[in-house]
Amino acid sequence: MNLVVGVDAGGTSSRAVVATTTGSVVGRGLAGPGNPLTAGPAHAAAAVAAAVLAALGDHPPESVVAATLGIAGPATATQFAPSLAALGVRAPVTLVGDVVTAFASGTPAPAGAVLIAGTGAIAASVRADAVERTSDGLGWLLGDEGSGRWLGLQAIRTAVRTWSAPFATRIATQAGVGTADEMVYWAQSLPWNEIGDLAPLVCAAARTGDPHAKAIVDEAVTHLVATLDNLAADGPVVLGGGLLTGDTPVRDGVLKVLQSRGLTPRTAHDPAAGAAWLAARPLSPLTPTALHETLLGSRPS
């Protein structure tokens, strides 16, 4: 049995999928952060190898004929190949950006655009498994507009300016502060995880009609659509990241705008499976579309 490996390695975790060249998933694995920039090259390589080992299960590593790794941040295949070889996986290793695997997990199209809103936010035009151009993805200080962290920062800014509003009370309660001054000092310490954790609260408040939360969500939608529009890319649009793949008002708003333009966006599903599809595609007896349908399900949002 010829197998392929697909990996989605990010700053929080590394996920691996092992599949046949005809699109049957035979194993999945989960391990620690696989972004060399944040975890360090050695730790990232070890995490990816651990995820692959877990996904292989009882299948012999020698049966792997190709591996594609989707990595967040700058990296090279040579940083990961030795750790995989130590497992017995000596197949060619291809490394692509995580935006490429996100796009591939949503569509078998050879070109198009992907809009991702999670902790950060970025849009990219993708063609032939490579990024042609990006928009935003500049980090919290310079951009990532409409992202989860951006939502949290906007919530804090709104709360300290409207301290008597119910919205401010909800933000203060989650932050564990009692006054606007305490909120300022808390924010200045840059507790990034806690700031990002405010995003679900903002989305929940917007769902119940809170005017401050709705205004923040509406602005996030405007920013994200503008980020996508900046690419001026042809082809299908894939939505990725927790804010755009989950049941959130941000996703609802972006979908509404794009559908009003006659577009039918697709949703990124499992980027690790998208990476496996990239690895299997040139080796499969199936057409790329049929392989995608088997492995991921080629369907619109």
d(CA 138, CA 144): 6
Q: pLDDT tens digits for 4-26?
A: 999 999 878 899 999 999 999 99
pTM for the model stands at 0.89
Q: With left for phi above 0 and alpha for psi between -120 and 50, is residue 281 left, alpha or beta? A: alpha
Q: 243 is written with which tokens?
A: 């804010």
pLDDT at 298: 56
Q: Do domains 3-106+269-295 and 136-266 have the same CATH topology?
A: yes
Please list, in sequence order, all residues whose beta carbon lies within 8 angstroms of the beta carbon of residue 273, skipping any fewer than 6 positions away: 6, 17, 19, 25, 105, 295, 296
Domain ranges of the chain: 3-106+269-295, 136-266
136-266 CATH, one of 3.40.50.620, 3.40.50.2300, 3.30.43.10, 3.30.420.40: 3.30.420.40
CATH topology of domain 3-106+269-295: Nucleotidyltransferase; domain 5 (3.30.420)
Q: pLDDT tens digits for 175-202?
A: 999 999 999 999 999 998 899 999 999 9
Residue spans of beta strands (DSSP E) within the chain:
3-9, 14-20, 25-31, 64-71, 93-97, 111-117, 121-127, 130-136, 237-240, 266-267
Q: pLDDT tens digits for 52-70?
A: 999 999 999 999 999 999 9
d(CA 29, CA 24): 15
